Chains A and B, each alone.
Chain A
Amino acid sequence: PADLIGDRLKEDVLEQKGRLQRLVAKDVQPPDPASIRVLRGHQLPVTCLVISPDDRFIFSASKDGSLIKCKWEVESGKRLCVVPGGKKGTEEQHMGHASHILCMAISSDGKYLATGDRNKLIMIWDADTCKRLHIFTGHRDAVSGLSFRKGTHQLYSASHDRCVKVWNVAENAYVETLFGHQDVITGLDSLSRECCVTAGGRDGTVRLWKIPEESQLVFYGHQGSIDCIQLINEEHMVSGADDGSVALWGLTKKKPLALARQAHGMQDAQGLQQPYWISAVAALRNSDLLATGSHSASVKLWKCGEGFRKLEPLWDIPVVGFVNSLKFSAAGDFLVAGLGQEHRLGRWWRVKEAKNSICIIPLKRRATAP
Protein backbone atom coordinates (compact mmCIF):
# COMPACT_ATOMS: atom_id res chain seq x y z
CA PRO A 1 0.00 0.00 0.00
CA ALA A 2 2.82 2.43 0.77
CA ASP A 3 4.18 1.70 -2.64
CA LEU A 4 0.89 2.55 -4.25
CA ILE A 5 0.72 5.88 -2.48
CA GLY A 6 4.32 6.60 -3.39
CA ASP A 7 3.65 5.73 -7.00
CA ARG A 8 0.57 7.89 -7.07
CA LEU A 9 2.46 10.84 -5.62
CA LYS A 10 5.22 10.35 -8.16
CA GLU A 11 2.70 10.35 -10.95
CA ASP A 12 1.15 13.54 -9.69
CA VAL A 13 4.50 15.31 -9.59
CA LEU A 14 5.37 14.15 -13.10
CA GLU A 15 1.97 15.21 -14.32
CA GLN A 16 2.47 18.69 -12.91
CA LYS A 17 5.80 18.98 -14.64
CA GLY A 18 4.38 17.65 -17.86
CA ARG A 19 6.62 14.63 -18.02
CA LEU A 20 4.14 11.89 -17.26
CA GLN A 21 3.63 9.82 -20.35
CA ARG A 22 1.82 6.56 -20.55
CA LEU A 23 3.00 4.85 -23.70
CA VAL A 24 -0.39 3.61 -24.72
CA ALA A 25 -0.41 4.10 -28.44
CA LYS A 26 1.44 0.95 -29.33
CA ASP A 27 -1.05 -1.21 -27.44
CA VAL A 28 -4.23 0.18 -28.94
CA GLN A 29 -5.93 -1.96 -31.53
CA PRO A 30 -8.31 -0.92 -34.27
CA PRO A 31 -11.92 -1.54 -33.23
CA ASP A 32 -14.26 -3.69 -35.26
CA PRO A 33 -16.92 -1.59 -37.01
CA ALA A 34 -19.73 -3.49 -35.31
CA SER A 35 -18.77 -2.23 -31.89
CA ILE A 36 -19.03 1.44 -32.89
CA ARG A 37 -22.26 2.88 -31.50
CA VAL A 38 -24.12 5.79 -33.02
CA LEU A 39 -26.43 7.85 -30.82
CA ARG A 40 -28.82 10.20 -32.55
CA GLY A 41 -31.00 12.94 -31.25
CA HIS A 42 -29.83 16.24 -32.65
CA GLN A 43 -31.53 17.81 -35.60
CA LEU A 44 -28.65 19.90 -36.86
CA PRO A 45 -24.94 19.00 -36.87
CA VAL A 46 -23.29 18.28 -33.53
CA THR A 47 -20.75 21.02 -32.85
CA CYS A 48 -19.14 20.01 -29.56
CA LEU A 49 -19.21 17.40 -26.85
CA VAL A 50 -17.70 16.69 -23.44
CA ILE A 51 -17.38 13.54 -21.40
CA SER A 52 -17.99 13.79 -17.67
CA PRO A 53 -14.85 13.15 -15.59
CA ASP A 54 -16.19 9.84 -14.28
CA ASP A 55 -16.72 8.64 -17.88
CA ARG A 56 -20.38 7.95 -17.32
CA PHE A 57 -22.17 10.68 -19.21
CA ILE A 58 -21.68 12.42 -22.49
CA PHE A 59 -22.97 15.95 -23.09
CA SER A 60 -23.37 17.07 -26.68
CA ALA A 61 -24.54 20.30 -28.28
CA SER A 62 -25.45 21.16 -31.81
CA LYS A 63 -26.13 23.98 -34.22
CA ASP A 64 -29.82 24.09 -33.39
CA GLY A 65 -28.97 25.23 -29.86
CA SER A 66 -30.00 21.99 -28.20
CA LEU A 67 -28.05 20.31 -25.41
CA ILE A 68 -28.33 16.57 -24.71
CA LYS A 69 -27.00 14.64 -21.76
CA CYS A 70 -26.92 10.92 -22.31
CA LYS A 71 -25.80 7.87 -20.44
CA TRP A 72 -23.73 5.94 -22.87
CA GLU A 73 -23.41 2.61 -21.08
CA VAL A 74 -26.98 1.64 -21.85
CA GLU A 75 -27.15 -0.01 -25.26
CA SER A 76 -29.54 2.47 -26.77
CA GLY A 77 -27.73 5.42 -25.27
CA LYS A 78 -30.50 6.67 -23.03
CA ARG A 79 -30.99 10.42 -23.24
CA LEU A 80 -31.22 11.71 -19.71
CA CYS A 81 -31.76 15.43 -20.32
CA VAL A 82 -32.63 17.30 -23.46
CA VAL A 83 -32.55 21.10 -23.47
CA PRO A 84 -34.03 22.09 -26.80
CA GLY A 85 -32.77 25.02 -28.73
CA GLY A 86 -34.85 28.12 -29.21
CA LYS A 87 -35.61 29.90 -32.42
CA LYS A 88 -33.94 33.16 -33.27
CA GLY A 89 -35.66 35.94 -31.36
CA THR A 90 -36.78 33.98 -28.31
CA GLU A 91 -33.72 34.70 -26.21
CA GLU A 92 -35.61 36.18 -23.25
CA GLN A 93 -38.26 33.55 -22.76
CA HIS A 94 -36.42 30.45 -23.72
CA MET A 95 -34.46 28.46 -21.13
CA GLY A 96 -31.64 27.49 -23.41
CA HIS A 97 -29.61 28.68 -26.33
CA ALA A 98 -31.17 30.40 -29.31
CA SER A 99 -28.23 30.15 -31.67
CA HIS A 100 -25.45 27.74 -32.57
CA ILE A 101 -23.65 26.39 -29.52
CA LEU A 102 -19.97 26.54 -30.41
CA CYS A 103 -18.20 25.15 -27.34
CA MET A 104 -18.71 23.33 -24.07
CA ALA A 105 -16.73 22.55 -20.96
CA ILE A 106 -17.28 20.55 -17.80
CA SER A 107 -15.50 21.09 -14.50
CA SER A 108 -13.24 18.34 -13.23
CA ASP A 109 -15.51 17.50 -10.28
CA GLY A 110 -18.43 17.06 -12.64
CA LYS A 111 -20.50 19.78 -11.05
CA TYR A 112 -20.74 22.60 -13.59
CA LEU A 113 -21.25 22.54 -17.32
CA ALA A 114 -20.56 25.66 -19.38
CA THR A 115 -21.76 26.28 -22.93
CA GLY A 116 -20.99 29.16 -25.26
CA ASP A 117 -22.98 30.21 -28.29
CA ARG A 118 -23.06 32.66 -31.16
CA ASN A 119 -25.16 35.14 -29.16
CA LYS A 120 -22.14 36.13 -27.03
CA LEU A 121 -23.54 34.29 -23.99
CA ILE A 122 -21.96 31.72 -21.72
CA MET A 123 -24.54 29.63 -19.84
CA ILE A 124 -23.64 27.73 -16.71
CA TRP A 125 -25.67 24.57 -16.03
CA ASP A 126 -25.74 22.17 -13.13
CA ALA A 127 -24.36 18.98 -14.67
CA ASP A 128 -26.55 16.57 -12.67
CA THR A 129 -29.92 18.19 -13.15
CA CYS A 130 -29.28 20.23 -16.31
CA LYS A 131 -30.77 23.32 -14.71
CA ARG A 132 -29.42 26.65 -15.85
CA LEU A 133 -27.63 28.43 -13.02
CA HIS A 134 -26.21 31.57 -14.51
CA ILE A 135 -25.52 33.45 -17.72
CA PHE A 136 -22.24 35.29 -18.25
CA THR A 137 -22.39 38.21 -20.62
CA GLY A 138 -19.43 40.32 -21.51
CA HIS A 139 -18.06 38.95 -24.70
CA ARG A 140 -18.60 41.10 -27.75
CA ASP A 141 -18.84 38.34 -30.30
CA ALA A 142 -19.54 34.63 -30.52
CA VAL A 143 -17.98 32.52 -27.76
CA SER A 144 -15.79 29.93 -29.46
CA GLY A 145 -13.79 28.25 -26.70
CA LEU A 146 -14.44 27.21 -23.10
CA SER A 147 -12.42 25.28 -20.59
CA PHE A 148 -12.38 24.80 -16.84
CA ARG A 149 -9.15 24.78 -14.94
CA LYS A 150 -8.71 21.25 -13.63
CA GLY A 151 -9.47 21.00 -9.95
CA THR A 152 -11.05 24.42 -9.63
CA HIS A 153 -14.12 26.33 -10.71
CA GLN A 154 -12.23 28.83 -12.77
CA LEU A 155 -13.52 29.08 -16.32
CA TYR A 156 -11.56 30.36 -19.32
CA SER A 157 -13.47 31.54 -22.35
CA ALA A 158 -12.32 32.62 -25.79
CA SER A 159 -14.36 34.43 -28.34
CA HIS A 160 -14.46 35.77 -31.86
CA ASP A 161 -13.78 39.22 -30.44
CA ARG A 162 -10.15 38.10 -30.00
CA CYS A 163 -10.02 38.18 -26.23
CA VAL A 164 -9.76 35.54 -23.54
CA LYS A 165 -11.81 36.09 -20.39
CA VAL A 166 -11.40 34.46 -16.99
CA TRP A 167 -14.52 33.81 -14.86
CA ASN A 168 -15.14 32.35 -11.43
CA VAL A 169 -18.16 30.09 -11.70
CA ALA A 170 -18.57 29.37 -7.99
CA GLU A 171 -19.05 33.06 -7.29
CA ASN A 172 -20.62 33.97 -10.66
CA ALA A 173 -17.94 36.61 -11.16
CA TYR A 174 -15.85 37.94 -13.99
CA VAL A 175 -12.15 38.05 -13.20
CA GLU A 176 -10.18 39.52 -16.10
CA THR A 177 -9.63 39.84 -19.84
CA LEU A 178 -6.49 39.03 -21.82
CA PHE A 179 -5.69 40.48 -25.21
CA GLY A 180 -3.25 39.53 -27.88
CA HIS A 181 -4.85 37.59 -30.69
CA GLN A 182 -5.19 39.34 -34.01
CA ASP A 183 -7.94 37.21 -35.46
CA VAL A 184 -10.88 35.21 -34.13
CA ILE A 185 -9.96 32.57 -31.56
CA THR A 186 -11.09 29.15 -32.70
CA GLY A 187 -10.21 26.90 -29.77
CA LEU A 188 -9.14 26.91 -26.13
CA ASP A 189 -7.89 24.27 -23.71
CA SER A 190 -6.43 24.13 -20.21
CA LEU A 191 -5.19 21.65 -17.63
CA SER A 192 -4.45 22.08 -13.95
CA ARG A 193 -1.97 24.96 -14.28
CA GLU A 194 -3.26 28.51 -14.28
CA CYS A 195 -2.54 28.70 -17.99
CA CYS A 196 -4.54 28.11 -21.12
CA VAL A 197 -3.70 27.68 -24.80
CA THR A 198 -5.68 29.22 -27.62
CA ALA A 199 -5.67 28.67 -31.34
CA GLY A 200 -5.81 31.91 -33.26
CA GLY A 201 -7.42 31.21 -36.60
CA ARG A 202 -5.96 33.18 -39.47
CA ASP A 203 -3.33 35.06 -37.49
CA GLY A 204 -1.42 31.79 -37.52
CA THR A 205 -0.45 31.80 -33.87
CA VAL A 206 -1.00 29.47 -30.95
CA ARG A 207 -0.74 31.37 -27.69
CA LEU A 208 -0.17 30.16 -24.16
CA TRP A 209 -1.62 32.57 -21.61
CA LYS A 210 0.13 32.76 -18.27
CA ILE A 211 -2.62 34.28 -16.21
CA PRO A 212 -0.89 35.07 -12.90
CA GLU A 213 1.98 36.76 -14.75
CA GLU A 214 -0.39 38.44 -17.29
CA SER A 215 1.84 37.45 -20.19
CA GLN A 216 1.52 35.29 -23.27
CA LEU A 217 3.87 33.05 -25.20
CA VAL A 218 3.39 33.18 -28.95
CA PHE A 219 4.05 30.17 -31.17
CA TYR A 220 4.14 30.33 -34.97
CA GLY A 221 4.45 27.68 -37.60
CA HIS A 222 1.09 26.75 -39.06
CA GLN A 223 0.01 27.95 -42.45
CA GLY A 224 -3.67 28.32 -42.90
CA SER A 225 -6.25 28.98 -40.23
CA ILE A 226 -5.66 27.07 -36.97
CA ASP A 227 -9.04 25.57 -36.12
CA CYS A 228 -8.63 23.27 -33.14
CA ILE A 229 -6.23 22.71 -30.27
CA GLN A 230 -5.86 20.36 -27.29
CA LEU A 231 -3.31 19.97 -24.56
CA ILE A 232 -1.62 16.58 -24.30
CA ASN A 233 0.05 17.30 -20.99
CA GLU A 234 1.19 20.43 -19.18
CA GLU A 235 4.04 21.03 -21.62
CA HIS A 236 2.79 19.87 -25.00
CA MET A 237 -0.17 20.50 -27.25
CA VAL A 238 -1.52 19.46 -30.63
CA SER A 239 -3.33 21.66 -33.12
CA GLY A 240 -4.98 21.24 -36.49
CA ALA A 241 -5.38 23.73 -39.33
CA ASP A 242 -7.46 24.12 -42.44
CA ASP A 243 -4.56 23.33 -44.74
CA GLY A 244 -4.66 19.78 -43.46
CA SER A 245 -1.62 20.02 -41.20
CA VAL A 246 -1.41 18.72 -37.64
CA ALA A 247 1.31 20.17 -35.41
CA LEU A 248 2.79 19.11 -32.10
CA TRP A 249 4.07 21.95 -29.93
CA GLY A 250 6.38 22.09 -26.94
CA LEU A 251 6.55 25.08 -24.66
CA THR A 252 10.23 25.74 -25.14
CA LYS A 253 10.30 26.08 -28.93
CA LYS A 254 8.45 28.69 -30.91
CA LYS A 255 8.04 26.40 -33.94
CA PRO A 256 6.20 23.09 -33.82
CA LEU A 257 8.17 20.06 -32.73
CA ALA A 258 6.48 17.90 -35.34
CA LEU A 259 4.28 18.76 -38.31
CA ALA A 260 2.23 16.35 -40.41
CA ARG A 261 1.08 17.99 -43.64
CA GLN A 262 -2.13 17.02 -45.44
CA ALA A 263 -2.91 14.64 -42.65
CA HIS A 264 -6.21 13.53 -44.14
CA GLY A 265 -5.19 13.66 -47.79
CA MET A 266 -6.47 15.79 -50.64
CA GLN A 267 -10.03 16.42 -51.70
CA ASP A 268 -11.30 17.33 -55.13
CA ALA A 269 -13.39 20.41 -54.32
CA GLN A 270 -14.74 22.24 -57.38
CA GLY A 271 -12.05 20.89 -59.60
CA LEU A 272 -9.14 21.97 -57.35
CA GLN A 273 -7.05 19.62 -55.28
CA GLN A 274 -7.27 20.91 -51.74
CA PRO A 275 -6.22 19.27 -48.52
CA TYR A 276 -9.00 18.14 -46.20
CA TRP A 277 -9.48 20.63 -43.37
CA ILE A 278 -8.74 19.29 -39.89
CA SER A 279 -11.92 20.08 -37.97
CA ALA A 280 -11.13 18.38 -34.66
CA VAL A 281 -8.15 17.07 -32.70
CA ALA A 282 -8.12 15.06 -29.49
CA ALA A 283 -5.39 13.84 -27.22
CA LEU A 284 -5.46 11.22 -24.50
CA ARG A 285 -4.10 13.16 -21.51
CA ASN A 286 -0.58 12.31 -20.37
CA SER A 287 -0.06 9.72 -23.08
CA ASP A 288 1.12 9.62 -26.65
CA LEU A 289 -2.12 8.89 -28.47
CA LEU A 290 -3.78 11.49 -30.70
CA ALA A 291 -6.85 11.50 -32.90
CA THR A 292 -7.72 13.88 -35.73
CA GLY A 293 -10.98 14.31 -37.56
CA SER A 294 -12.01 15.86 -40.83
CA HIS A 295 -14.65 15.15 -43.46
CA SER A 296 -12.53 12.56 -45.22
CA ALA A 297 -14.73 9.71 -43.96
CA SER A 298 -12.33 8.63 -41.25
CA VAL A 299 -10.92 9.49 -37.87
CA LYS A 300 -7.16 9.00 -37.89
CA LEU A 301 -5.20 7.91 -34.86
CA TRP A 302 -1.60 8.96 -34.38
CA LYS A 303 1.28 8.10 -32.12
CA CYS A 304 3.70 10.75 -30.86
CA GLY A 305 7.30 9.78 -31.20
CA GLU A 306 10.06 10.02 -28.64
CA GLY A 307 9.94 13.37 -26.86
CA PHE A 308 6.96 14.42 -28.99
CA ARG A 309 9.32 15.00 -31.89
CA LYS A 310 7.64 12.73 -34.38
CA LEU A 311 4.10 12.06 -35.46
CA GLU A 312 3.34 8.60 -36.84
CA PRO A 313 -0.05 7.60 -38.21
CA LEU A 314 -1.48 4.44 -36.71
CA TRP A 315 -4.77 3.50 -38.34
CA ASP A 316 -8.16 4.91 -39.39
CA ILE A 317 -11.67 4.50 -38.07
CA PRO A 318 -14.32 4.88 -40.77
CA VAL A 319 -17.04 7.46 -40.06
CA VAL A 320 -19.34 9.39 -42.33
CA GLY A 321 -19.63 13.15 -42.27
CA PHE A 322 -17.81 16.06 -40.65
CA VAL A 323 -16.08 15.17 -37.39
CA ASN A 324 -16.80 18.35 -35.46
CA SER A 325 -15.55 17.21 -32.09
CA LEU A 326 -13.41 14.44 -30.68
CA LYS A 327 -12.82 13.51 -27.07
CA PHE A 328 -11.01 10.65 -25.36
CA SER A 329 -12.33 9.25 -22.14
CA ALA A 330 -10.20 9.85 -19.08
CA ALA A 331 -9.14 6.24 -18.83
CA GLY A 332 -8.59 5.87 -22.54
CA ASP A 333 -11.25 3.19 -23.03
CA PHE A 334 -13.22 4.90 -25.71
CA LEU A 335 -13.21 7.79 -28.14
CA VAL A 336 -16.32 9.86 -28.80
CA ALA A 337 -16.77 11.71 -32.08
CA GLY A 338 -19.43 14.34 -32.74
CA LEU A 339 -20.56 14.06 -36.35
CA GLY A 340 -22.55 16.32 -38.58
CA GLN A 341 -23.48 17.04 -42.13
CA GLU A 342 -21.70 20.40 -42.03
CA HIS A 343 -18.59 21.93 -40.52
CA ARG A 344 -19.26 23.31 -37.05
CA LEU A 345 -18.34 26.87 -38.04
CA GLY A 346 -20.12 27.21 -41.36
CA ARG A 347 -21.75 25.56 -44.33
CA TRP A 348 -18.98 25.23 -46.87
CA TRP A 349 -19.92 21.69 -47.76
CA ARG A 350 -22.78 19.40 -46.87
CA VAL A 351 -22.38 15.65 -46.66
CA LYS A 352 -25.91 14.34 -47.27
CA GLU A 353 -25.18 10.75 -46.35
CA ALA A 354 -24.06 11.69 -42.86
CA LYS A 355 -26.29 11.60 -39.79
CA ASN A 356 -26.08 14.27 -37.10
CA SER A 357 -25.04 12.05 -34.22
CA ILE A 358 -22.35 11.15 -31.75
CA CYS A 359 -20.25 8.09 -32.33
CA ILE A 360 -18.76 6.05 -29.48
CA ILE A 361 -15.71 4.06 -30.51
CA PRO A 362 -14.33 1.61 -27.94
CA LEU A 363 -10.57 1.25 -27.93
CA LYS A 364 -9.29 -2.20 -27.12
CA ARG A 365 -5.84 -2.60 -25.73
CA ARG A 366 -3.60 -5.46 -26.50
CA ALA A 367 -2.92 -7.34 -23.29
CA THR A 368 0.64 -6.45 -22.34
CA ALA A 369 2.85 -9.00 -20.65
CA PRO A 370 2.94 -8.32 -16.90
Chain B
Amino acid sequence: LRVQSDMRTRVCKQVTGGKKTAKPTKATLKQQQSKKGPLEMSAKKPVPFLRQVVSVTKKVHRDPRFDDLSGEYKPEIFMKTYSFLDSIKKQEKEMIQKQLKKCRNMEQKEKLQQLLNRMTQQEQAQKKQQKLRERELSLKRQQRELAKQGKKPFFLKKSEKRKLELAEKYAELKRSGKLESFLNKKRKRNAIKDKRRLPSQKNL
Protein backbone atom coordinates (compact mmCIF):
# COMPACT_ATOMS: atom_id res chain seq x y z
CA LEU B 1 0.00 0.00 0.00
CA ARG B 2 2.85 2.36 0.88
CA VAL B 3 4.54 1.67 -2.44
CA GLN B 4 1.29 2.38 -4.23
CA SER B 5 0.77 5.67 -2.41
CA ASP B 6 4.37 6.70 -3.12
CA MET B 7 3.89 5.96 -6.75
CA ARG B 8 0.70 7.95 -6.79
CA THR B 9 2.23 10.99 -5.10
CA ARG B 10 5.21 10.86 -7.45
CA VAL B 11 2.97 10.78 -10.50
CA CYS B 12 0.81 13.55 -9.05
CA LYS B 13 3.87 15.73 -8.49
CA GLN B 14 5.10 15.08 -11.96
CA VAL B 15 1.78 16.02 -13.42
CA THR B 16 1.29 19.16 -11.39
CA GLY B 17 4.86 20.25 -11.87
CA GLY B 18 7.00 19.80 -8.83
CA LYS B 19 7.01 20.85 -5.16
CA LYS B 20 5.71 24.39 -5.53
CA THR B 21 2.17 23.48 -6.55
CA ALA B 22 1.65 20.66 -4.03
CA LYS B 23 1.70 22.85 -0.91
CA PRO B 24 -0.68 25.71 -1.85
CA THR B 25 -3.41 23.28 -2.91
CA LYS B 26 -3.32 21.61 0.49
CA ALA B 27 -3.49 24.95 2.30
CA THR B 28 -6.43 26.23 0.24
CA LEU B 29 -8.33 22.96 0.72
CA LYS B 30 -7.96 23.22 4.50
CA GLN B 31 -9.06 26.86 4.45
CA GLN B 32 -12.13 26.05 2.38
CA GLN B 33 -13.13 23.30 4.75
CA SER B 34 -12.87 25.48 7.85
CA LYS B 35 -14.81 28.35 6.24
CA LYS B 36 -17.82 26.45 4.98
CA GLY B 37 -17.99 23.55 7.37
CA PRO B 38 -19.08 23.50 10.98
CA LEU B 39 -16.69 24.61 13.71
CA GLU B 40 -14.82 21.72 15.28
CA MET B 41 -14.00 22.07 18.97
CA SER B 42 -12.76 19.90 21.79
CA ALA B 43 -15.54 18.23 23.77
CA LYS B 44 -13.60 17.83 26.97
CA LYS B 45 -13.22 21.42 28.18
CA PRO B 46 -15.87 22.30 30.77
CA VAL B 47 -17.87 25.34 29.77
CA PRO B 48 -18.16 28.33 32.16
CA PHE B 49 -21.60 28.80 33.66
CA LEU B 50 -22.11 32.34 32.39
CA ARG B 51 -22.56 32.64 28.66
CA GLN B 52 -21.02 35.43 26.61
CA VAL B 53 -24.02 37.12 24.98
CA VAL B 54 -22.46 40.38 23.81
CA SER B 55 -18.78 40.63 23.00
CA VAL B 56 -17.06 42.95 25.49
CA THR B 57 -14.06 44.74 23.95
CA LYS B 58 -10.97 44.88 26.14
CA LYS B 59 -9.71 48.35 26.91
CA VAL B 60 -6.36 48.82 25.17
CA HIS B 61 -4.01 50.60 27.57
CA ARG B 62 -1.67 53.03 25.80
CA ASP B 63 1.18 55.03 27.26
CA PRO B 64 1.43 58.18 25.12
CA ARG B 65 5.06 58.57 26.07
CA PHE B 66 6.07 55.35 24.33
CA ASP B 67 3.36 55.12 21.72
CA ASP B 68 4.20 55.58 18.07
CA LEU B 69 0.92 57.39 17.45
CA SER B 70 1.93 60.31 19.65
CA GLY B 71 4.90 61.16 17.44
CA GLU B 72 8.23 62.60 18.53
CA TYR B 73 8.51 65.00 21.50
CA LYS B 74 9.41 68.51 20.36
CA PRO B 75 9.54 70.89 23.30
CA GLU B 76 8.76 74.10 21.36
CA ILE B 77 5.66 72.64 19.76
CA PHE B 78 4.60 71.11 23.08
CA MET B 79 4.96 74.49 24.85
CA LYS B 80 3.02 76.27 22.16
CA THR B 81 0.08 73.85 22.09
CA TYR B 82 -0.20 73.63 25.88
CA SER B 83 0.47 77.30 26.64
CA PHE B 84 -3.13 77.68 27.77
CA LEU B 85 -2.25 75.67 30.86
CA ASP B 86 -0.06 78.50 32.19
CA SER B 87 -3.04 80.76 32.83
CA ILE B 88 -4.89 77.91 34.55
CA LYS B 89 -1.86 77.26 36.73
CA LYS B 90 -1.75 80.91 37.69
CA GLN B 91 -5.39 80.88 38.70
CA GLU B 92 -4.89 77.79 40.75
CA LYS B 93 -1.95 79.35 42.54
CA GLU B 94 -4.06 82.38 43.44
CA MET B 95 -6.81 80.12 44.71
CA ILE B 96 -4.40 78.26 46.97
CA GLN B 97 -2.96 81.50 48.32
CA LYS B 98 -6.45 82.68 49.24
CA GLN B 99 -7.24 79.39 50.91
CA LEU B 100 -4.00 79.56 52.84
CA LYS B 101 -4.98 82.97 54.21
CA LYS B 102 -8.41 81.73 55.26
CA CYS B 103 -7.32 78.45 56.70
CA ARG B 104 -7.05 77.94 60.51
CA ASN B 105 -6.30 74.22 60.72
CA MET B 106 -2.51 73.69 61.16
CA GLU B 107 -2.36 70.40 59.24
CA GLN B 108 -4.24 71.72 56.32
CA LYS B 109 -2.16 74.90 56.41
CA GLU B 110 1.00 72.83 56.18
CA LYS B 111 -0.38 70.85 53.29
CA LEU B 112 -1.44 73.96 51.43
CA GLN B 113 1.94 75.53 52.02
CA GLN B 114 3.66 72.48 50.63
CA LEU B 115 1.41 72.55 47.61
CA LEU B 116 2.13 76.21 47.04
CA ASN B 117 5.86 75.62 47.27
CA ARG B 118 5.56 72.79 44.84
CA MET B 119 3.77 74.97 42.36
CA THR B 120 6.22 77.82 42.59
CA GLN B 121 9.16 75.47 42.25
CA GLN B 122 7.61 73.86 39.19
CA GLU B 123 7.19 77.28 37.67
CA GLN B 124 10.79 78.15 38.33
CA ALA B 125 11.99 74.89 36.85
CA GLN B 126 9.95 75.58 33.74
CA LYS B 127 11.44 79.02 33.44
CA LYS B 128 14.97 77.67 33.81
CA GLN B 129 14.42 75.14 31.09
CA GLN B 130 12.97 77.83 28.91
CA LYS B 131 16.08 79.96 29.44
CA LEU B 132 18.36 77.07 28.57
CA ARG B 133 16.50 76.44 25.35
CA GLU B 134 16.63 80.10 24.44
CA ARG B 135 20.35 80.18 25.01
CA GLU B 136 20.87 77.14 22.82
CA LEU B 137 18.76 78.72 20.13
CA SER B 138 20.72 81.97 20.24
CA LEU B 139 24.02 80.09 19.97
CA LYS B 140 22.74 78.18 16.98
CA ARG B 141 21.52 81.36 15.37
CA GLN B 142 24.96 82.94 15.86
CA GLN B 143 26.62 79.99 14.24
CA ARG B 144 24.17 80.00 11.35
CA GLU B 145 24.89 83.65 10.71
CA LEU B 146 28.60 83.01 10.76
CA ALA B 147 28.16 80.12 8.38
CA LYS B 148 26.09 82.31 6.07
CA GLN B 149 28.69 84.99 6.13
CA GLY B 150 31.17 82.42 5.04
CA LYS B 151 33.24 81.96 8.16
CA LYS B 152 33.67 78.47 9.53
CA PRO B 153 31.10 77.68 12.30
CA PHE B 154 32.73 76.91 15.59
CA PHE B 155 31.31 74.86 18.46
CA LEU B 156 31.90 75.86 22.09
CA LYS B 157 33.40 73.49 24.63
CA LYS B 158 31.40 72.55 27.71
CA SER B 159 33.71 74.53 29.97
CA GLU B 160 33.25 77.58 27.72
CA LYS B 161 29.50 77.17 27.97
CA ARG B 162 29.70 77.00 31.74
CA LYS B 163 31.78 80.17 31.84
CA LEU B 164 29.16 81.96 29.78
CA GLU B 165 26.43 80.76 32.14
CA LEU B 166 28.36 82.01 35.14
CA ALA B 167 28.82 85.39 33.50
CA GLU B 168 25.07 85.64 32.89
CA LYS B 169 24.33 84.63 36.50
CA TYR B 170 26.64 87.34 37.82
CA ALA B 171 24.98 89.90 35.62
CA GLU B 172 21.56 88.86 36.93
CA LEU B 173 22.71 89.02 40.55
CA LYS B 174 24.25 92.40 40.05
CA ARG B 175 20.93 93.67 38.78
CA SER B 176 19.06 92.36 41.78
CA GLY B 177 21.80 93.48 44.19
CA LYS B 178 22.48 90.14 45.81
CA LEU B 179 25.89 89.73 44.28
CA GLU B 180 27.81 90.48 47.52
CA SER B 181 25.92 87.94 49.66
CA PHE B 182 26.24 85.29 46.98
CA LEU B 183 29.97 85.82 46.66
CA ASN B 184 30.41 85.67 50.45
CA LYS B 185 28.59 82.38 50.71
CA LYS B 186 30.65 80.99 47.93
CA ARG B 187 33.90 82.02 49.56
CA LYS B 188 32.83 80.37 52.86
CA ARG B 189 31.93 77.14 51.12
CA ASN B 190 35.21 77.04 49.22
CA ALA B 191 37.17 77.73 52.43
CA ILE B 192 35.56 74.78 54.23
CA LYS B 193 36.32 72.51 51.31
CA ASP B 194 39.95 73.61 51.16
CA LYS B 195 40.34 73.16 54.90
CA ARG B 196 39.27 69.56 54.56
CA ARG B 197 42.02 68.99 51.98
CA LEU B 198 44.78 70.34 54.27
CA PRO B 199 46.69 67.75 56.29
CA SER B 200 44.95 67.34 59.63
CA GLN B 201 46.56 67.03 63.05
CA LYS B 202 45.60 63.31 63.34
CA ASN B 203 47.90 62.23 60.54
CA LEU B 204 50.96 63.65 62.16
Using CB atoms and an 8 Å cutoff, list the residues of chain A in contact with chain B.
Answer: 162, 164, 178-183, 203, 208-211, 214-219, 251-254
Contacts and interface: CB of A to CB of B under 8 A. Distances in A.
Contacts of B60: none
Contact of A203 (B41, B45, B51): B51
Contacts of B36: 252-254
A203 B49 CA distance: 12
A250 to B, nearest CB: 10
Contacts of B45: 179-180
Interface in B23-46: 36-46
B43 A251 contact: no
B37 A252 contact: yes
Contact of A179 (B38, B39, B40, B46): B46
Contacts of A219: 38
Interface string B52-89: 00000000000000000000000000000000000000
Nearest to A213: B43
B37 A162 contact: no
A55 B109 CA distance: 97
Interface of chain A: mostly helix, strand, loop or mixed? loop
Nearest to B51: A182
Report, nearest first, the 5 A-B pairs whose CB atoms are least far apart.
A254-B38, A217-B38, A178-B43, A218-B39, A216-B43
Contacts of B37: 217, 252-254
Chain B, interface size category, equals 10 to 19
Q: Which of B36, B38, B39, B45 has the most CB of A within 10 A?
A: B38
A183 B49 CA distance: 9
B156 interface: no
A308 to B, nearest CB: 15
A207 B45 CA distance: 15
A180 B40 CA distance: 11
A143 B36 CA distance: 33
Contacts of A217: 37-40
B3 interface: no
A196 B42 CA distance: 15
Interface of B: 36-47, 51
19 contacts: A162-B47, A179-B44, A180-B43, A180-B45, A180-B47, A181-B47, A182-B51, A210-B43, A214-B42, A214-B43, A215-B43, A216-B42, A216-B43, A217-B39, A218-B38, A218-B39, A253-B36, A254-B36, A254-B39
Contacts of A218: 38-41
Given A252-B36, A252-B37, A254-B36, A179 B51 contact: no
Contacts of B46: 179
B51 A180 contact: no
A290 B190 CA distance: 107
A215 B41 CA distance: 6
Contacts of B38: 208, 217-219, 251-254
Nearest to B42: A215
A224 to B, nearest CB: 15
Nearest to A217: B38
B40 to A, nearest CB: 6
Nearest to A253: B36
A226 to B, nearest CB: 15
Nearest to B46: A179
A253 B42 CA distance: 18
A180 B39 contact: no
Contacts of A210: 43
Contacts of A180: 41, 43, 45, 47
A179 B45 CA distance: 6
A259 to B, nearest CB: 16
Contacts of B44: 178-179, 214
A162 B46 CA distance: 10
Given A179-B44, A179-B46, A182-B51, 15 more contacts: A178-B44, A179-B43, A180-B43, A203-B51, A208-B38, A210-B43, A214-B43, A214-B44, A215-B43, A217-B38, A217-B39, A218-B41, A252-B38, A254-B38, A254-B39
A50 to B, nearest CB: 26
Contacts of A178: 43-44
Nearest to B39: A218
A305 to B, nearest CB: 20
Contacts of A211: 43
Given A252-B36, A253-B38, A182 B47 contact: yes
A252 B44 CA distance: 22
A251 B38 CA distance: 8
A211 B44 CA distance: 10
Contacts of A164: 43
Nearest to A251: B38
Nearest to B44: A214
Given A219-B38, A252-B36, A253-B37, A183 B51 contact: yes
B130 to A, nearest CB: 62
A43 B53 CA distance: 40
Contacts of B51: 182-183, 203
Nearest to B52: A182
Contacts of B47: 162, 179-182
Nearest to B33: A252
A209 B41 contact: no
